[in-house]
Structure 1
């Protein structure tokens, strides 16, 4: 079954630093690199490298950054027929990565702000639709409702945390948040920050990624807790996107949520051991090898 990803495609400018800069603080960086990124593109690459048939829908500019933004998607074999080319500049991100693999990121949406749900062709029943929050929230809400109406399964990674219409959240097949996004959403709905608390408030299955502590999920009458795979982190930039993309790929193949979360955890751990975002996504064979070893 196909995975359709609706989201952002960026050119990432990556700066290696000893320590992340704070307010009013200038630090010297090592050689910078221009790499493909954007949460949507990263997750699409992760799903494609894990063996899914992937269609990506988003928007880029007519500038030289567009090829950088789309390069990993092309290399992974994603269908780019639903990508719009606009007069706005291609989205870009400035990423500082410190010696411990932690990062600080500033994102300019650019053309991503012009991505529209109408670009996505009709969806097949059971198809997985993966979304994030680096495109307009109203367009995400429209596509989530379409997915429900057409029998597809919408997965929203609420990253970054911005408001989404509650009825769209309640139409999801699965909501994925990290600890910070879970706290933000829980404050909005007045519930506990756990997966179980968010599930009770929204009535949909919720997964919360917990970094080195793994991930938890809660659905109707079920709870899951999946540990992370211990690795030496080099760059955590793409870890969350690896988790979401591989989860979507596994679900598209019919895997139950618990198995899909374990596979996603393995892929995210591998991504942490490599620099960059889209380029850090593991292949299916690499993920399977870690699963066997673990």
Structure 2
């Protein structure tokens, strides 16, 4: 079975209100657990990227909550879900900042405080692209025993920053599945040590993962295969949410493909955290509608608002 959607047409832009009566109040099935990386993002918006040993004046600077998992938790809470977040920060000002930002969105934080500095990411964005420099910091100390998933869904992200958790990722996903939770995983930004991918690949092959969220480069690096081969290899075991940037996104299952092209005419200003926001939109959309196609359309609407305005729009603003 194959079907596509027309979400990205410049003549048609769906809103969440087309699918259900929007409410910001969580419903029982909207309780989600998110585990993984958390750090402040230092974002610089520039007109051109500087050459080595030169300086470029940034057009703007923003300090905001970051970390793939934390971004997803924040966005889910803004959309109205009841969210539990499991992460690790240092006993420092930046750790306090991250926890405060999550709580301000309504996230229930289960934060581990460790004797290491809070991780940080500096991102330089220009012309819809980004270059990032990340210090893992406290994220490396998040462990399996720190996480007790609750609700109806477990999402994990920040894999490459979670040194202690990585070897136990299969155990965590299997435990969640055994308790009836839907499981999803975002592989995160590229790593030089793809040998560590064996833990998540084993979990996928064993059927512990319902949804794999990944971009085109990441799925190629994760599997060591060309894009088409990589997709065919993994769709046998899990449903793939493929981020394709300006081309939109695809949901690829064992016997179906849902394609949601990006809306034309959108001014892309903010890319850091866009994939995480899409993930949150899909999870929220699926829990609200129970329909993969509608969830994909909702995710696209939400991420389009994010890349243009740099904020997660609430349902009433969509």
1:86 aligns with 2:139: no
Greater RCO (Cα-Cα under 8 Å, separation 6 or more)? 2
Cα 1:143/1:199, change in 2 over 3 Å: same
Match of 1:283 in 2: 314
Change (3 A) 1:77 1:70: same
Q: Deviations along 1:161-218, whole A, 9 cap, x unmatched?
A: 4414222123101111111112213425x77256445314xx2111211111111122
Displacement of 1:31 in angstroms is: 5.1
Q: 1:77 Cα shift?
A: 0.3
Q: Give distance in 2, aligned partners of 1:95 and 1:150.
A: 38
- Aligned match of 2:228: 192
Unmatched tracts of structure 1, length 5 or more: 290-294
Which residue is equivalent to 2:249? 215
Structure 1 residue ranges, 4+ long, deviating more than 6 angstroms after superposition:
none
Q: Is the CA contact 1:196–1:223 (under 8 Å) kept in the aligned structure 2?
A: no
Hey, what's the Cα distance between the residues in 1 that align with 2:48 and 2:298? 32
The alignment status of 1:261 with 2:296, answered yes or no, reads: yes
Q: Please state whether the residue corresponding to 1:235 is helix, strand or coil.
A: coil
- Residue 173, structure 1, aligned to residue 210, structure 2: yes
Q: Structure 2 vs 1, CA of residues 31 and 269 (structure 1 numbering), >3 Å: closer, same or farther? A: closer
CA distance in 1 between counterparts of 2:223 and 2:51 reads 28
List alignment gaps of at least 5 residues for structure 2: 1-28
Matches within 5 A, 1:16-35: 16-21=45-50, 26-30=55-59, 32-35=61-64
The counterpart of 1:145, out of the listed 170, 174, 177, is: 174
Pairwise CA distance, 1:244: 0.6
Q: Give the Cα–Cα distance (whole angstroms) in 1 for the partners of residues 115 and 223 of structure 2.
A: 38
SS in 2 for 1:89: coil
> Is this contact kept in 1: 2:95–2:118, CA < 8 A?
yes
Note the 1:218-257 alignment, pairs <5 A. 218-230=252-264, 231-257=266-292
Counterpart CA distance in 1 for 2:48 and 2:218 is 24
Secondary structure of 2:189's aligned partner: coil
Take 1:84 and 1:138, find their aligned partners in 2: how far apart are those partners?
19
Which of 93, 98, 101 is the aligned partner of 1:64? 93
Quick check: 1:36 aligned with 2:36?
Answer: no
Using the TM superposition, give the Cα deviation of residue 233 of structure 1 relative to its aligned residue in structure 2, in angstroms.
Answer: 0.9
Give the number of equivalent residue pairs.
Answer: 276
| TM-score, with structure 2 as normaliser | 0.80
Q: For 1:94, what is the secondary structure of its paired residue? A: strand
Say what the alpha-carbon RMSD is for the aligned residues.
2.1
Q: Distance in 2 between matches of 1:143 and 1:26?
A: 45
Residues 116-156 of structure 1, C-alpha deviation per residue, up to 9 Å, x if partnerless? Answer: 222222535xx111111232322433321221222211101
TM norm structure 1: 0.86
The structure-2 alpha-carbon separation of the partners of 1:245 and 1:113, relative to structure 1 and needing over 3 Å to count, comes to: same
Return closer, same or farther for 1:23/1:151 CA change in 2, 3 Å cut-off: farther
